[in-house]
Amino acid sequence: APQVERQVFLRLQEMRQKMAINSRSKAFEIAGNPLLKEISRRAPTGLDDLRAIPGFAESGLATEATQIVTMIAAVRMQYG
């Protein structure tokens, strides 16, 4: 659903921004927008599905995989 995709994208942006601030990095160094868009589009429901997205494992978001899957599930419940 477009609403789910949008909400996941916005929350991923927030997560990336907090990670960038905490690590004194640039947001794009954590993960680029194309990766955030692909995660949002697929909205994976499990860790294996998330880790299967090209570029995810190498991104700064990889350490937050469980949190991302949990967030996606919450968004699906709220907007799906």
CB 50, CB 71: distance < 8 Å = no
Domain spans in the chain, listed from the N-terminal domain onward? 2-79
CATH class of 2-79: mainly alpha
Note the pLDDT of residue 49: 98
Q: Could you list the mean pLDDT of each consecutive 10-residue stretch along the chain, which spans 80 residues? A: 97 98 97 99 98 98 98 96
Which residues does 35 contact at the CB level (< 8 Å), separation at least 6? 53, 55, 56, 59, 61
Length of the chain in terms of residues written: 80
Q: pTM to 2 decimals?
A: 0.95
Phi, psi (deg, nearest 5) at residue 45: -100, -5
Amino acid at 37: K
